[in-house]
Amino acid sequence: MPRKRLFWGLLILALCAGAPLCYLLWQANAQRRALAEVIAELDREEPNWRFFDMVRTRKHIPPERNSGDVILAAYAKFPKAFGEVPILQEIESLPPNKALTAAQENALWAAVQPFEAGLADALAIADMDEGNYAISYTEDIISTLIPHAQKVREMATWLAADAVLKAQKGNVPGACLSARAALNAGRSFGDEPFTVSTLVRINCVLLACAALERVLAQGDASDADLAKIHKLLEMEWQEDLFARAVRTERGVLHQIFRLLDSKKLDFKFIAALSEQKASTAVRAFGFIGNSQNSAHTWGLRYANQAQKIIKMPVHEQFEAIEKLQADYFDLPEVAKLLTPNWKKFHGNTFLRGKAQVACGMLGVALERYRQKHGRWPDKLDALQPDFLGDVPPDPFDGQPLRYRKTKNGVVVYSIGPSKAMQGDRWDGQWNVELGQRWEFRLWDVDMRRKQ
């Protein structure tokens, strides 16, 4: 009897210990299969989706057309150190049709003058609408240095300031040249696969559009200059920068998980770099059990959902991204640390940039119409076909961008993410935070350059 009891006791003990072990083995196998299925689906549907495949298939830009080389050479002539420039923020708060005071003009000239040598060289990119930069990629990607990104942003800032100064001095052709160069500074990133580069590009476009609005509020630009600017804005409108950002982040996530799987990377290092705070358990132990494969799968699936949203009409993306937000909070912590919260960027960054480009494009077309006909059109349809193809839709609802006449000109605008914008930034009734602009305004000739 004692031996039978021992036998059954050992058997029960073995079953109790073995059942959880079998479950863990089954779970690990299921997670590996799920990950393999997601990767296989991506390989079938999206060749070259991996990050270094994206790098390998980037567009080649011949040296003679590469604006990036020109920007870096011009930037080398900038002062070695410079800080905030209050006059630039002060001008941003002024109605574009208001001329600068003598003190403001002198302050702007004093700010721009140290950069003149570099800016003179950088004007060459006004006719160079593509570029790229040499990058030494690290295996983990996130350690890759891209110092040119900040240089590009600063170049666009000073080119935009140069456009404002030239407009103030009555040199409208020169101001248009500088505004075009500021726009092309953003385009110099080309198809660079880094989200931070894409965000800087959008910022450059916003700077260029703000400068252009002031230039056209200070005088008359030639139709030839306006046509060149319109062509650039139209090219920028065709770019799907959000799609590029989603593909980039998905490729980065996959590469990092590959390195974690091969033990070339420690997740605690990744957690330390993340903007989000990892839990105590994750910071101390990294992955537990088979959570790595599970997190990898969840992260790829979430990115794939965002990728499907990209294929929707742009105005349908906004609400779809809002719904995707719930899935973001359901991600395993380790995947969340490596995945952007797309809601945070989509409306106020990517769609805002899209809307401002469209507003600028329409603004230029409206100015060309006024110059030819001596009046503003009653509707945007009147711009077709001489000055515009299709009227671009508002990225936030798919309707044509709004257009109305004001007491001293016209304004074209987007309703924005709140769907409540009225294009009234300069009506004196809306106390808007600097930079939150969703419009492009034009003034009647007799209301331009007001003292």
Looking at residue 283, what is its pLDDT?
A: 45
Choose among 65, 176, 175: nearest CA to 129. Answer: 65
410-419 confidence digits (pLDDT tens): 999 999 888 8
Choose among 389, 428, 418: nearest CA to 322. Answer: 418
Looking at residue 426, what is its pLDDT?
A: 73
Query: Between residues 305 and 290, which one has the greater pLDDT?
Result: 305
pTM: 0.89
Looking at residue 444, what is its pLDDT?
A: 95
147-173 confidence digits (pLDDT tens): 999 999 999 999 999 999 999 999 999
Averaged pLDDT, 96-120: 95
297-339 confidence digits (pLDDT tens): 888 988 898 889 988 888 888 888 888 887 787 777 777 778 8
Q: Report DSSP state, residue 115.
A: G
Average pLDDT, the chain: 86
Contact 204, 156 (CB under 8 A): yes
> Letter for the amino acid at 205?
V
Averaged pLDDT, 262-279: 66
The model's confidence at residue 422, banded by pLDDT at 50, 70 and 90, is: confident
Q: How far apart are the first and last CA of the chain?
A: 109
345-389 confidence digits (pLDDT tens): 887 889 889 999 999 999 999 999 999 999 999 999 999 999 998
Among 42-46, 119-123, 322-326, 327-331, top mean pLDDT goes to 119-123
Contact 256, 270 (CB under 8 A): yes
Cβ atoms within 10 Å, residue 255? 18
Pairing of strands 402-406, 439-443: unpaired
